[in-house]
Amino acid sequence: MIDIITVVVPHMLMAIAVWRLLHRDDLDNDPILPGRERGLMGRKGKQAIRGEGTPGA
């Protein structure tokens, strides 16, 4: 029983940490890229998918 707990508890804690990291609002925002106030998922239209209007695209 103790062996199962020592395996499950750390994995559950890591899963919670990953879940919280993936749902952060600032995950999509890159301050280095100019002209991108919102991430790709927040934009509408084909421009966000193809990357038009971004340097080097």
pLDDT tens readout for residues 12-51: 999 999 999 998 888 777 778 776 555 555 555 445 555 5
Closest CA to 29 of 20, 41, 17, 21: 41
Give the number of other Cβ atoms within 10 Å of residue 48's Cβ: 17
Predicted TM-score (pTM) above 0.75:
no
Residue indicated by tokens 């804690």: 13
**CA angle (24 as vertex; 48, 44 as ends), nearest 5:** 20
pLDDT of residue 45: 47
Binned at pLDDT 50, 70 and 90, residue 2 comes out as confident
- If one compares 49 and 11, the residue with the highest pLDDT of the two is 11
